[in-house]
Amino acid sequence: MQLNRKQLALLTVLTLIWGFNWPVMKLGVTGYPPLTFRSLCLWLGLPVLALLMVARKVPFKVQRQDYREVFWLAMFNLVVWNVLIILAVKHLSSGRSAILGYTMPIFSALLGAWFFGTQLRLRNWVGVAAAALGVGLLLWYEVTNLSGQPLAVLGALVAAATWAYGTQRMRNTTLNLPTLTLAFWMMLITALVMTLLCVVLEYPQWQLPSGKTWFAIGYNAVLVFGFAQAVWLTLARTLPPIASTLSVMMIPILGVFSGALGLGEQLHWQDWAAVALMVVSMGSVIAPSRALAKA
* Cβ–Cβ under 8 Å, residues 27 and 216: yes
Measure the CA–CA gap between 41 and 101, rounded to whole angstroms: 19
* Nearest Cα to Cα of residue 39 among 67, 79, 75, 72: 79
As for how many domains the chain has, the answer is: 1
pLDDT in tens, 215-244: 999 999 999 998 888 888 877 776 655 555
* Nearest Cα to Cα of residue 156 among 231, 246, 95, 109: 95
Measure the CA–CA gap between 92 and 87, rounded to whole angstroms: 9
Note the pLDDT of residue 291: 46
* Nearest Cα to Cα of residue 171 among 119, 117, 219: 117
Encoded amino acid at 22, one letter: W
Note the pLDDT of residue 125: 73
Note the pLDDT of residue 287: 57
Question: Which of the residues in the chain have pLDDT under 50?
Answer: 1, 146, 246, 291-293, 295
* Nearest Cα to Cα of residue 128 among 288, 271, 282: 282
Note the pLDDT of residue 132: 72
* Nearest Cα to Cα of residue 164 among 234, 230, 107: 107
Encoded amino acid at 288, one letter: P
**DSSP per-residue codes, 93-158:** -HHHHHHHHTTHHHHHHHHHHHHS-----HHHHHHHHHHHHHHHHHHHHHHHSTT--HHHHHHHHH
* Cβ–Cβ under 8 Å, residues 159 and 84: yes
Task: Give the count of beta carbons closer than 10 Å to the beta carbon of residue 260.
Answer: 17
* Nearest Cα to Cα of residue 167 among 88, 85, 245, 65: 245
- Ramachandran quadrant class, 117 (left: phi over 0; alpha: psi -120 to 50; beta: rest): left
* Nearest Cα to Cα of residue 274 among 77, 138, 71: 138
- State which residues form the domain around 24: 5-294
Note the pLDDT of residue 281: 67
Measure the CA–CA gap between 259 and 3, rounded to whole angstroms: 30
Opening angle at CA 165, ends 94 and 290, nearest 5: 90
Task: Give the count of beta carbons closer than 10 Å to the beta carbon of residue 207.
Answer: 10
pLDDT in tens, 232-281: 887 777 665 555 554 566 777 777 788 878 878 777 777 778 777 777 76
* Cβ–Cβ under 8 Å, residues 232 and 163: no
